[in-house]
Amino acid sequence: MKKQPNDLILQTVTTVISFIIFLFSIHLFFAGHYTPGGGFIGGLMTAAALVLLLLAYDIKTLNTILPFDYRLMTAAGLLIAVLTGAGALLFNEPFLTHAYDYFELPLLGETSLHTAVLFDIGVYLTVIGVTMTIIQTIGESE
Amino acid sequence: MTQMINLPLLPILIPLLSAVLLMFFPKRIKAQRVISMIGIAGTIIAAIVLAAEVKANGIQTVNLGSWPAPYGIPLVSDMLSVLLVLTSSILTFFVVWYAMIYMDESYERFFFYIGVMFLLTGINGAFTTGDIFNLFVFFEVFLIASYLLIVLGGKSGQLRESIKYLLINVISSALFVTAVAYLYSVVGTLNMADISQRIDELGSPGIITVIAIFFLIVFGLKGAIFPLYFWLPGSYSAPPIPILALFGALLTKVGVYSILRTYTLFFYQDQGYTHQILGVLALLSIVVGVIGAIAYRDVKTIIIYNIVIAVGVILYGVSAMTPAALEGAVFYLLHDMVIKAALFLLVGIMMAIAGASHLNKMGGMIRDYPRIGWTYLVAAFALAGIPPLSGFIGKLLIVQGGFEAGDMVGPIIILLSSLLVLYSAMKIFMNGFWGTPKEYHGAKAHLANRLWVPAAGLVLIAIAYGVGSEAVYPFIQMAVEPLIDPAIYIEAVLKE
C-alpha cells in the first residue's frame, strides 16, 4: 500500500513542533544538574523530535536533512563517557572523580562548568544513537 | 613511581575502551582483530600486575568517584576476584585467537569482537565489584553481550534458542532486582561489606533466610544448578563453537562466583538451612549432569552436561564451608574454567573435521590428526581429575572438606561422578579418535591444525596449573581467607 503524500498539515505542524521539542530536550539536558532532567531524558526527547520528522517525512528525507550515522553517534557517546571517567586516571584520582570550577565566559559571564556534563553528553549521544538505530533498522527492514 | 590507585579498575576499563573503539569501524576486520587482541593482552597484563599487588599488599579497593565506602561504589579486588579476572582474560585471549581462525567473515563483520569485549568487561566487572546493585548491572552488561553473541548469524536454531535464553535471563534478572530490593529494604545499604555487617548486627531474622534462598534461585538460574539448569543444554548448543567456549567457561561461573560470594559474605550466620539446601541442590546437579553426560552421543551436548556437573562440584564445596572445601572450590573453579574452554575448542576441531557433532559420524581421527587426539586425551584426563593434572587437587580438597564437615554421602557422589565424567569424556575419545576412519566432509577440516594451537595453549595452561599447584596454592589460600573470615573483607572495604 503506497500512501499518497498529502500530509500538508502534518508536515507544516511538524516543522514548527519538532524545533520546540528539540529546544525542550536541550533545556531538559542542561537542567539535569539542579532540577529533573539530564542526559537520558534529554536524549530521548531529541530522538522524539527526530521520530516526529520520520513520521511526517520518510527515512530518506531525514537522512538528507540530518546526515548522521547513528551507530557512530552511539560509539562517540560511549567514548566521551568512558574518557570523562578515565580522565581522573591522569591525576591519579579514582575513576569517575569529577571536577568543577567557575569560568568567565564571553557571553554567559561567570559560569560553573562541571565535568559531569561531559559524561552526560556521552549519555545523551548514546541514547539518541541507540534509539534512532533501533527505529531506523526496524523501519528499513522489509 | 607513585602507587596506581585505579589498578582494580583496569581489567574492566581496558576491554570497555577497546570495545568502544571497535564500534567506530565494525567492518574493518583486520583492525578489529588487532585491537581486540591488544585489548585482551592489556587486560591480562593489568590483571597480572593487580595480582602481584594484591599478593604483596592485601585486598585492593578503589572508591569510584572518590566517594567513601558505604556511599559510593567500591571495586574490591581480593585474591579470589583477581584470580578469576586473570583466568577469564587469559581464556578470552585463546578463544578469540581460535575464533579468528574459525569464524566466517560474516560473523566478524557484525560486531563479533565488540560483543566479546563487552562480555569480558561485564565478567571482569562482576568479579570485581563490591556493590550488589553494581553486580546486577555488570550481569546485564555481559548478558546483553551474550544475547548478541548467541543470536549472531541468525540461523533458525539460534533464533529459537536465543528466545528461550533471553526469556530465562530476563526473568532471572527481574528476580535479581526484586531480591536486591528485599535486601535493601531490610538492611538499607547496597555496599556488600556494609550489607554483611548489618546482617551480622541484625542477628538472623527469618527474612534474611528467605532472601538467601531468593539469591540462590537467582544465581542458580544464571549458574545452572538443579532444578534451574533446564535452559542450558538447548541454549548452549545453538551458537558456534568459539562463542560456546566463552559461554561454557565464563557465564555460568559468574553465577557460581556470586553464590560463593553471597553465601560466604552475607548469609553465613544461619548455615543449617541455607547451606544444606545448597549442598543438596549441588549434589542433585551432579547427578543430573552425569546422567546427561553419559546419555548423549553428541560431543557438544556431552561437554555441556559436564558444565552442570562442575557447577555442582564447586557449589558442594561452598556448601561445606570448611577451609579445605572452600580452597577446593576455588581451585576447582579456576581449573574448570580453563579445561571447559579447552574441551569446547577441541571438540570444535573434531566437529570442524567431521562436519557434524554426532559421534556416529566420527571415528579414527587419530590417524590423520594425532596431535589433536592426544591433546584431547590429556584434557579429558584433566577434566576427570587424574593426579598430576589440574582437576585433581580441587576435587581432593572438596572431598576432604566434605568428610571433615561430617558428610559421607556427598564426597562419595563426587568421587563416583568423576568416574562417570571420565567415562563420558573417554567415550568421545574412543569413538571419535579410535576405530575405523570415516569419510569426512567438514568444510573447515583444513583449518584443524591451525585451530589446534590455541586449544593446545589452553591445555598447556591446565597442565601447568595441575603440575604447579604447589606454586598456586598460596594464592588460593589467600583467596579463601576473606571467605572464611568476612571481617577481612569488611575491614578492607570500610577501612575501620
Closest CA to B17 of B157, B158, B149, B117: B117
pLDDT at A3 over 70: no
d(CA B460, CA B342): 10
Query: Is A78–B64 a contact, with Cβ atoms under 8 angstroms apart?
Result: no
Query: Is B64–A89 a contact, with Cβ atoms under 8 angstroms apart?
Result: no
pLDDT tens for B422-474 read 999 999 999 988 888 877 777 777 888 888 999 999 999 999 999 998 999 99
What integer pLDDT is reported at residue A2 of this predicted model? 55
Q: What is the percent of chain A with per-residue pLDDT over 70, rounded to a whole number? A: 96
Query: Is B65–A74 a contact, with Cβ atoms under 8 angstroms apart?
Result: no
In angstroms, the separation between the Cα of residue B443 and the nearest Cα of chain A is 31
Query: Is A94–B26 a contact, with Cβ atoms under 8 angstroms apart?
Result: no
The answer for residues whose C-beta is within 8 angstroms of residue A70's C-beta and 6 or more apart is A128, A129, A130, A132, A133, A136
pLDDT tens for B82-120 read 999 999 999 999 999 999 999 888 888 889 999 999 999
| Global pTM exceeds 0.90 | yes
pLDDT tens for B7-38 read 999 999 999 999 999 999 988 999 999 999 99
pLDDT tens for A55-79 read 998 888 888 988 889 999 999 999 9
pLDDT tens for B309-320 read 999 999 999 998
Q: To the nearest whole number, what is the mean pLDDT of chain B?
A: 92
Closest CA to B472 of B50, B79, B41, B60: B79
Q: What is the ipTM metric for this complex?
A: 0.91
What integer pLDDT is reported at residue B121 of this predicted model? 96
Q: Does B62 touch chain A (CB under 8 A)?
A: yes
Q: How far is CA A10 from the centre of its chain?
A: 24
Q: Quick one: residue A5, left, alpha or beta (phi over 0 = left, psi -120 to 50 = alpha)?
A: beta
pLDDT tens for B216-267 read 999 999 999 989 999 999 999 999 999 999 999 999 999 999 999 999 999 8
What integer pLDDT is reported at residue A4 of this predicted model? 62
Testing the interface with B: which of A96, A123, A133, A134 to mutate, by most B Cβ within 10 A? A96
Q: Does B20 touch chain A (CB under 8 A)?
A: yes
**Domain positions in chain B:** 281-485
What integer pLDDT is reported at residue B4 of this predicted model? 76
Reported as a pLDDT band with limits 50, 70 and 90, residue B282 is very high
Query: Is B6–A78 a contact, with Cβ atoms under 8 angstroms apart?
Result: no
Question: Looking at per-residue confidence, does B361 or A77 come out higher?
Answer: A77
- Which residues of A are less than 8 Å from B5 in CB distance? 92-94
d(CA B264, CA B486): 7
Minimal Cβ distance to B6: which of A79, A94, A98: A94
pLDDT tens for B32-73 read 999 999 999 999 999 999 999 999 998 999 999 888 888 999
In angstroms, the separation between the Cα of residue B404 and the nearest Cα of chain A is 44
The amino acid occupying position B265 is L
d(CA B388, CA B390): 7
